[in-house]
Structure 1
Amino acid sequence: MTVRTTWTGPKELLEQAELILTELIDPPVDAASLVRLDDASVEAADAPWGLHAYTEDPIPANALGMLPQELGPPVREDLEDRDWVAHALEGLGVVKSGCFVLFGSHDAEKASKMDGIKLQIEANRAFGTGHHPTTHACLDMLSDMAGLPVKKILDLGTGSGVLAIAARKLWPDAVIVATDIDEPSIPIAAENAEINDAPGIIWEVAEGTASAAIADNAPFDLVIANILAGPLIELAPDIRAVTADGGRVILAGLLDEQSDRVEAAYADQGLDLAEKRGTDRWPLLHLKEGRA
């Protein structure tokens, strides 16, 4: 049996809930799908949004308590036997992020007709299909950095591996290390790399920068960390330590109200804000190591 739990409300709150359900609770939900709901009584621009979460068992009360309380109680349904997770993932569609076109195998034909570097990323429990604003912003940032002479790249919290794979497409000769604290994510990311013909990425399960692969290849010209504000602040000294002089850091996964604290933590380490982009709710911080 599959349980579908549904919330309705503002898109920004549902995006926050989606990140919590797929990244913070243990175990994460099997799949989450953010969709615009059909409602003939409202104008399209004001149409409500819905978040469907699919699990084998009901989501525990303590996990539900982590979600934005403004959303109110969800609606729970016990669904008939069918692959509802696959059904949810098929609804994600094709995403254009910077110079990249992200798609699942079910949308391969549609993606083939679009201009851009194609990345086939299957949605699953490993975070990073390009549908979340944080992943989208990172891909957009990488696209704009494509001409920079980057030789070593670190992707902390790689999830599905999408950012490391995108980096390989832009810098085919760079050393790329990609790590994640979530052990099941690493084989998923490695499989995605193989599907996308992105060879030579060094994958490793690691907590923060405590990694043999990171130690062996540091310092890095570019560090990418699309995780959460708390870990980003905690890791500021460690990320600074593995960033090359004159290097760049891309931080995402933080909320707008957390941006000042994250920026300050890195300014204390000599990493200054070069650019802020993303959405009003989900900013991206591009930091520059300015030490000579």
Structure 2
Amino acid sequence: MTACKLIWTGPRARLEAIETALTEVLWPPARAVSLTKAEPAAEDDETDWRLDAYFEEPPDGDALGALLAGIDGAGAPQIESVPDIDWVAHSLSGLGIVRCGRFVVYGVHDADKLPNEPGLIPIRIDANQAFGTGHHPTTSGCLTLLDRLAGLPPERVLDLGTGSAVLAIAAAKLWGRPAIASDIDETSVAIARENAALNSVAELVTVVRADGFDHPEIARAAPFDFVFANILAGPLVEFAPAMAAHVKPAGRAMLAGLTAAQEEAVTQAYEAAGFRRLNRLDHPVWPALLFARV
């Protein structure tokens, strides 16, 4: 069986816009999306970039054209047939370590590249079929913002839509407090448990399969002092009332997965649910927001 790879090259900003469109609308049919600097290219060159998107089968041409119609210069991609292997792992392996404040996210293939500095918190996340290796700006943004909150340890933590469990693992390592990591996808749940064990926090991170907040473990632990929700804008808006019901007064909610264009709608939903915004990690496409329940 063969899979399909779509390739775009050009300016980074344009490819980031295409990546956003593919991630939000065509995922999970897009099994992996990888944005890398083309070689050779100067370190500060923003024009020579490459976007690879892997699909189980070629996407509908009309649907893809409509999806990209609003992106200036997107153009038609080059299409290649490729062997049917784990393209999530393939596209992410070898990308190197990710430094987010004191957090350093790495894969086993990059263990020898870890900085030898005091105070760093290493998190091993190997490339696999669960979202969240630290390379995407939504994950690195959450980790960077979390690093600023080290002095405010919560008692109860929830990582909603955990993916690889990188955020739950980071919280457990940073604060030494228990965390629940939930995801609706069975594969992600299994990988999250493996990652918690790999990072020696399995006794702190409880991983459950849940649709939103609907799980007995979540109900027993609520209300939470801190909730991560690195998902998408639609579910974030939908979950705003439930988030308020599961977060303590003065508890915090870190939201990511939304784009800058969707920020206003998400903010309005959470303000209407009784939250106020405390902080924002800026990114041209993928901001991370921190709210507190009033």
Per the normalisation by structure 2, the TM-score is: 0.88
Unaligned runs of 5+ in 2: none
Which residue does 1:219 correspond to in 2? 223
Q: 1:85 and 1:215, CA in 2 relative to 1: closer, same or farther beyond 3 A?
A: closer
Does 2:87 match 1:97? no
User: How do 1:54-73 and structure 2 match up within 5 A?
Assistant: 54-61=54-61, 64=64, 67-69=67-69, 70=71, 71-73=74-76
User: How do 1:186-201 and structure 2 match up within 5 A?
Assistant: 186-199=189-202, 200-201=204-205
Give CA-to-partner distance per residue, 1:37-85, whole Å, 9 cap, x none.
1366x89423322111234533444773574332222111124798866
Name the CA distance, whole Å, in 1 between partners of 2:66 and 2:212.
23
Does 2:240 match 1:239? no
SS at match of 1:207: coil
Kept in 2: contact 1:29–1:125 (CA 8 A): no
Q: 1:278 and 1:44, CA in 2 relative to 1: closer, same or farther beyond 3 A?
A: closer
Match among 270, 287, 290 for residue 291 of structure 2: 287
Which residue does 2:154 correspond to in 1? 150
SS at match of 1:159: coil
| Residue correspondences, number | 288
Identity of aligned residues (%): 46
SS at match of 2:211: coil
SS at match of 1:189: helix
Which residue does 2:143 correspond to in 1? 139
Name the CA distance, whole Å, in 2 between partners of 1:203 and 1:237.
23
Name the CA distance, whole Å, in 2 between partners of 1:81 and 1:243.
43
Q: Shift of the alpha carbon at 1:18? A: 3.7
Match among 128, 131, 134 for residue 127 of structure 1: 131
SS at match of 1:52: strand
Which residue does 1:258 correspond to in 2? 262
Q: 1:105 and 1:63, CA in 2 relative to 1: closer, same or farther beyond 3 A?
A: farther
Which residue does 1:208 correspond to in 2? 212
SS at match of 1:45: coil
Moved more, 140-149 or 184-193: 140-149
Unaligned runs of 5+ in 1: none
Match among 148, 167, 175 for residue 171 of structure 1: 175
Q: Shift of the alpha carbon at 1:88? A: 2.7
Kept in 1: contact 2:180–2:218 (CA 8 A): yes
Kept in 2: contact 1:223–1:243 (CA 8 A): yes
Q: 1:144 and 1:57, CA in 2 relative to 1: closer, same or farther beyond 3 A?
A: same
Name the CA distance, whole Å, in 2 between partners of 1:157 and 1:83.
21
User: How do 1:11-26 and structure 2 match up within 5 A?
Assistant: 11-18=12-19, 21=22, 25=26
Moved more, 277-286 or 244-253: 277-286
Per the normalisation by structure 1, the TM-score is: 0.88
Q: Shift of the alpha carbon at 1:179? A: 0.9
For residue 158 of structure 1, what is the amino acid of its counterpart? T
